Amino acid sequence: MLSMILKRMLAAAPSLVGVIIVTFLLTRALPGDPAAYFAGPAATQEAIEQIRVKLGLDKPLYLQFIRYVADLAHGDLGDSLTTGQPVAQELKSRLPASAELTLLGLIVSMAIAVPLGILAATRPNSLIDHCCRVIATAGVSLPVFFTGLLLVYVFYYLLGWAPAPLGRLDVFFSPPPQITGFYLIDSALAGDGELFLASLKQLILPALTLGIFALAPIARMTRASMLAALSSDFVRTARASGLTPFTVTVTYAFRNAMLPVVTTLGMVFSFLLGANVLVEKVFAWPGIGSFAVEALIASDFAPLQGFVLTMAVMYVALNLLIDILYGVIDPRVRIEA
Amino acid sequence: MTNVALTSEPRVSESGLIAALRHARYVLRDNAVTGFAFALFLLIVLAAVLGPAIVPHDPLASDTAAALKPPSWGHWFGTDQLGRDVLSRVVVATRLDFLIALTSVALVFLLGGLAGVAAGFFGGWTDRVVGRIADTIMAFPLFVLAMGIVAALGNTVQNIVLATAIVNFPLYARVARAESNILRNAGFVHAARLCGNGELRILLAQVLPNIMPIMVVQMSLTMGYAILNAAGLSFIGLGVRPPTPEWGIMVAEGAAFMVSGEWWIAFFPGAALMLAVFCFNLLGDGLRDIVDPRRRT
C-alpha cells in the first residue's frame, strides 16, 4: 500500500513541474514590460527600474526561473499591489472559505447524482431515466453564474427563505474562533447552534449552485457504470442465489460501479474549482476566487498568478488523492502496484 | 463511421441537395430531440446572421426615461438600467458569442486535431511531446487556466478565443490520437503507402478525412463549453467590454438588479446562453449517437 502511494506521488511530479513552468511563462508572456506591469500604472521610471532589479528581471530567463522556484520553495508568491500584503498570506486566510464551499458543493451533487444515477440504471427507459438524462444535460448547459442568480431571485427575493447573498455570515454575527477555518465545523465545535445555522443558511445557495453544475458528469457516469455492473455475470449469480434486489443492487453492483465514478471525480473537481470563481463573484463569497477577480479588475498580476498556481497545485493534489482512493476501493489496483 | 459512409455514398447519383435532404430526414426521423436541437441551431444561426437587421430597437441607444421597465408589448424583454431594449441586445449579442465559440473551436480543431492525428500516426517523440503538452494543460482546472491566459496575454476578445482553444486542446488531441492510432495499420493506409505516397500525404489525405466524423461530433460537443467559457470570462470582466452586447456581460450587469427584483435584465441573456449551450450539447449527443452508437451513455 505504501509503495503504491509513493509510486503515485512520483507520477504526479511531472504535472507539478509542468504547472510551475506554465505559471512562470504566463508572467513572462505579459504584454510589454513585466516590471512596468508589476509596478502598476502610476509608477515612475525609477520605480520600474527598482522593481526590475528587485524581481531579477534584468537577469537571463533561466536564472529568473531558478529564482522563481526558490521563492516558491519559501512560500513567497510576491506582494499584492492593491493591498501591499504578501499574496501567500492572503490566499491562506481566504482558502478555507473556498474549500468549505467547494466541498459542500461536491457533497450536494453526490447526494443528488448518485441515487439518481442508480435509480435511472435500475429502471432503464422509465420516467426517472429520462429525467436523469434531461437533468444531466440541463445541468451542464446552465451557466453557473446564471443558476446562482436564479436561485438568489427565487429564494431571496421572492420567497425570502435565504439571506442576502453577501458573504459567509450575516453582519450581526461574528465568526467562530478559528480552528479549521470552516465555519460549519468551527461553530459546531464551539457549541454555538445559532451560529451554525446562520453560516449554513449563507452556504446553502452557493453550494447548491455548484452542486447543480457538477451533477451531470456524476449522474451520467453512475448510470452508465451501474448499467454495466447490473448486466454482469456476478450480479446474475447473486440474483440466481435468491438475494434480495436491494442486496444485489447495493452490495454487489453499487460497490463495483463506484470505481468509474471515483475516476470521473477528477473532471468534476476541474469543473468545481473553475465554477467556484463565478459562484464566489455572484454570492460575494470572500474566497480565493473573488480575490483573483478583484486582482484581475485592478490589473494586479501577482495575486492572480498565486491564485492560478494554488488552484493548479490543489487540483494535482486532489487527483493524487483520487488515485490513492481508487487503490483503497479496488484491491486489484494494489496488487498490480 | 462506416454507417455514415454507407448511407451517404450510394446516393451520389441523385442531385446533391435532394440526397442531403433525404439523408437528413432519415437521420432525424427516429430522433425528435436531435431534430429540436437542429431547429434551435438554425434559429441561432439566423439570429447571428441577421441579428442587427431584425431587432426592433438600437441595442446601444439608451433612454433613461424608460429605464428598468419590466417586459411589455413595446419591449418584450423589458429595458435595462440605461433604458436599452433587452430583446435587441440579446439578439444582437448572438453574433459575437457564436463567433467567439466558432473561431475558438475551429482553432482548437486545427491545433489539437492536427497534433493528435500526428501523435497517433507517427508515435515516438511526436506522441510524447503532444501527450506532455496535453497533460500539462489538464493539470489545471480549465476555467482557472483560461483566466490566467487572458490576464497574462491581455484583456481582448482575441485572447478569449485563444484561451478557450488552449483549454480544449487536450480533448481534441486525445480523441484524434486514439482514432489515428487505430487507422495507422488499416489496409487502405498500407495500400496508399505501397502506391508510393509520402507519410505526410497519407496523414492528410487518408487518415485525417477518416477521423472527421468523430472530430465533428467533438466540435459540436465543445461548442457549448466554448460558449460557457467565453461568457464566464466576460462575466468576471475579461474580454468583451461594455457597452458591447454580449450574454455574459449582460448577465453580470443584471446581477445587481436580481436582488431588488428586476429579474429580466439578467434572465433573458442568461436564458439565451443556456439555450445555446443546451442546443449544442443535444446536437453533439445526437451526432455522436449517429456516428458512434457505442459511446452512448
Phi, psi (degrees; rounded to nearest 5) at A275: -65, -30
Average pLDDT over residues B13-23: 69
Separation in Å, CA of B208 to nearest CA in chain A:
28
Strands of A241-302, DSSP E: none
* B271 residue type, one letter: A
Q: How far apart, in whole angstroms, are the C-alpha atoms of residue A232 and residue A255?
A: 13
Nearest to A153 among B258, B273, B285 (CB): B258
Separation in Å, CA of B277 to nearest CA in chain A:
5
Contact between B206 and B192 (Cβ < 8 Å) = yes
User: Touching check for A23 and chain B: CB below 8 Å?
Assistant: yes
Q: Suggest the residue from B145, B162, B167, B282 to mutate for an interface test with chain A (most A CBs closer than 10 A).
A: B145
B59-68, B121-130, B214-223: which range is least confident on average?
B59-68
Nearest to B274 among A146, A152, A270 (CB): A146
Given a cut of 80, whether residue A37 has pLDDT beyond it is: no
Q: Tens digit of pLDDT for each residue in B139-198?
A: 888 899 998 888 888 888 899 999 999 999 998 998 899 888 888 888 888 898 889 888
Helix (H) or strand (E) holding A1: none
Task: Kindly report each contact of residues A182-190 with a partner whose C-beta sits within 8 Å and lies 24 or more positions away, as own/partner.
Answer: A182/A96, A182/A99, A182/A100, A183/A100, A184/A100, A184/A104
User: Touching check for A43 and chain B: CB below 8 Å?
Assistant: no
Query: Residues A171-208, buried b or exposed e (16+ Cβ, 10 A)?
Result: eebeebeeeebbbbbbbeeeebeebbebbeebbbbbbb
Q: What percent of chain A has pLDDT over 70?
A: 93
Alpha helices in B31-138 (DSSP H): 32-54, 86-108, 114-122, 124-138
The reply to whether ipTM tops 0.90 is no
Instruction: Name the one residue in this structure whose C-alpha cell is 413595446.
Output: B74
Nearest to B136 among A18, A29, A307 (CB): A18
Q: Tens digit of pLDDT for each residue in A193-235?
A: 788 888 888 888 999 999 988 888 888 888 888 888 888 888 8
Q: Please indicate whether residue A294 or residue B32 has the higher confidence score (pLDDT).
A: A294
Count residue pairs from A and B with Cβ separation < 8 A. 150
Q: How far apart, in whole angstroms, are the C-alpha atoms of residue A54 and residue A298?
A: 22
